[in-house]
Amino acid sequence: MANCPDFDSAFREQFGELLRWRRDVRRFLPDSVPSALLETVLASVAHAPSVGNSQPWRFVRVDSSSRRQGLLNSFRRANDEALAGYRGERAAHYARLKLSGLAEAPIVLAVFTDEATNQGHGLGRRTMPETLRYSTVGAVHTLWLVARCHGLGVGWVSIIEPDSVRTLLEVPSAWSLTALLCLGWPVEDHVDPELERAGWQERSRSLPVLIHR
Amino acid sequence: MANCPDFDSAFREQFGELLRWRRDVRRFLPDSVPSALLETVLASVAHAPSVGNSQPWRFVRVDSSSRRQGLLNSFRRANDEALAGYRGERAAHYARLKLSGLAEAPIVLAVFTDEATNQGHGLGRRTMPETLRYSTVGAVHTLWLVARCHGLGVGWVSIIEPDSVRTLLEVPSAWSLTALLCLGWPVEDHVDPELERAGWQERSRSLPVLIHR
């Protein structure tokens, strides 16, 4: 057994800063991201937790301009539909928000969950099969934090039609879309969330609710 | 705008160690965990990403012995059912695994998603409503890493009946169970996953699949 490192208070403080400065980034510089850096970031997800050690995450990098345009079209349809669900001042406010960097980001990654994987032999997902997709979410969060350590911004686009993305990217039928990510160098660093700066939704400052039973 | 800290290579290396040494812990010492430490760990989840800044995570700490027993009963039923789904040597192997620390862990947290929250005003979850639950998963992963920084082990129990847990803990009907967590001081530190040590499922050592489209 290797020796477990000591995570001292200086590290904990800096890790807290990483959590505070991780942002959902939607404004990217046009500068490209070296492939080696993307590989370094992707390699880190091997250490994300997964149900039954199933590692069900699958990554698709979207570079072809026709497919990038297809993603943007799907975003615009989903966004128009979402806008139509708001009324009055709330609708006007929604229309002013910048909700994705899909048009500008140098890297777009679609992250899928392989629902048919046999890795893990089904352990832990009989009564809660959604934990397979939750494992992919843990991988996305890991990637996000590691990217931020390198100064890279990540934005998670959920205003998208998951079935359109699957069709567009021609992935195996057992893969479900878990996340669509934009990666690149942020135009600016911010400690406050974009939606808070834009006045849409503040972050609650109080401790999370803890109920005792 | 505050100044963004520089996450240098020394920090990145140590953060990589944290990712490698985070474990799903199922073997806990009986020693209690100070409430102040639990509060510190819980406070960190305020900085987890959430769709529309919705922060939908809700935490229930289960202390009553009757409810702890109820959780254990639910685990045992779900585990017996899972065991019945395996055959031969695989079944014998499954039966030997230690799959939860529910009986011993000093702290048990049930983590729910408030599906009815208005925080975020529905933004980002029209076409992918599951992102609300994915937000809670990000909070769990944040908690997990921060706990590990303090030497605390976390185990995620998914072999459980989510509806039984909701009923047992008498939570609002709009809350869905996302994760059941055990927290405490680990008996031992390990860099390799428990399921790998037990020969059930190795972790893949190769880079994650990256398809180009």
* Percent of all residues in chain A with a pLDDT value above 70, rounded to a whole number: 99
A201 with B53: Cβ contact below 8 A? yes
B11 contacts in chain A (CB < 8 Å): 11, 14, 18, 149
CA distance, residue A118 to nearest chain B CA (Å): 10
CB nearest to B81's CB, from A126, A148, A195:
A126
Q: Which of B3, B63, B132, B158 to mutate to test the interface with A (most CBs of A within 10 A)?
A: B158
A11 with B16: Cβ contact below 8 A? no
Instruction: Please name the residue of chain A whose CA is at the shortest distance from the CA of residue B82.
Output: A126
A14 with B7: Cβ contact below 8 A? yes
CB nearest to B78's CB, from A52, A126, A137:
A126
Q: Which of A35, A47, A73 to mutate to test the interface with B (most CBs of B within 10 A)?
A: A47
Query: Which pLDDT does position A2 carry in this prediction?
Result: 63
Asked if pLDDT for residue B98 goes beyond 60, the answer is yes
Query: Which pLDDT does position B174 carry in this prediction?
Result: 97
Residues near A66 by beta carbon (within 8 Å), at least 6 away in sequence: none
ipTM for the complex? 0.97
Query: Which pLDDT does position B178 carry in this prediction?
Result: 98
Amino acid at B1: M
Q: Which of B65, B117, B141 to mutate to test the interface with A (most CBs of A within 10 A)?
A: B141
A78 with B127: Cβ contact below 8 A? yes
Query: Which pLDDT does position B2 carry in this prediction?
Result: 63
pLDDT in tens, A11-64: 999 999 999 999 999 999 999 999 999 999 999 999 999 999 999 999 999 999
B211 with A39: Cβ contact below 8 A? no
Give dist(CA A47, CA A122) in Å, integer: 19
Give dist(CA A68, CA A74) in Å, integer: 10
Mind listing the domains of chain B with CATH numbers? 24-187 (3.40.109.10)
Instruction: Please name the residue of chain A whose CA is at the shortest distance from the CA of residue B17.
Output: A5
Query: Which pLDDT does position A70 carry in this prediction?
Result: 98
Q: Which of B25, B38, B127 to mutate to test the interface with A (most CBs of A within 10 A)?
A: B127
Collapsing DSSP to helix, strand or coil, A5 comes out as coil
- What separation, in Å, do the N-terminal and C-terminal C-alpha atoms of chain B show? 38
Question: What is the β-pairing status of strands B57-61 and A210-212?
Answer: parallel
pLDDT in tens, A90-109: 999 999 999 999 999 999 99
CB nearest to A208's CB, from B14, B46, B211:
B46
CA geometry: angle A18, A21, A27, nearest 5 deg: 135
| DSSP characters over B162-183 | HHHHHHHHT--TTEEEEEEEEE
Asked if pLDDT for residue B1 goes beyond 80, the answer is no
Instruction: Please name the residue of chain A whose CA is at the shortest distance from the CA of residue B81.
Output: A126
CB nearest to B204's CB, from A46, A82, A121:
A46
Average pLDDT, chain A: 95
Starting at the edge strand that comes first in sequence, how are the strands of the sheet with B107-114 ordered? A210-212, B57-61, B107-114, B175-184, B153-157
Contact B126, A81 (CB under 8 A): yes
A190 contacts in chain B (CB < 8 Å): 1
Element (H, E) at B158: none
Helices (H), A65-175: 65-84, 88-96, 131-149, 162-169
A204 with B18: Cβ contact below 8 A? no
pLDDT in tens, B23-47: 999 999 999 999 999 999 999 999 9
Give dist(CA B127, CA B131) in Å, integer: 9
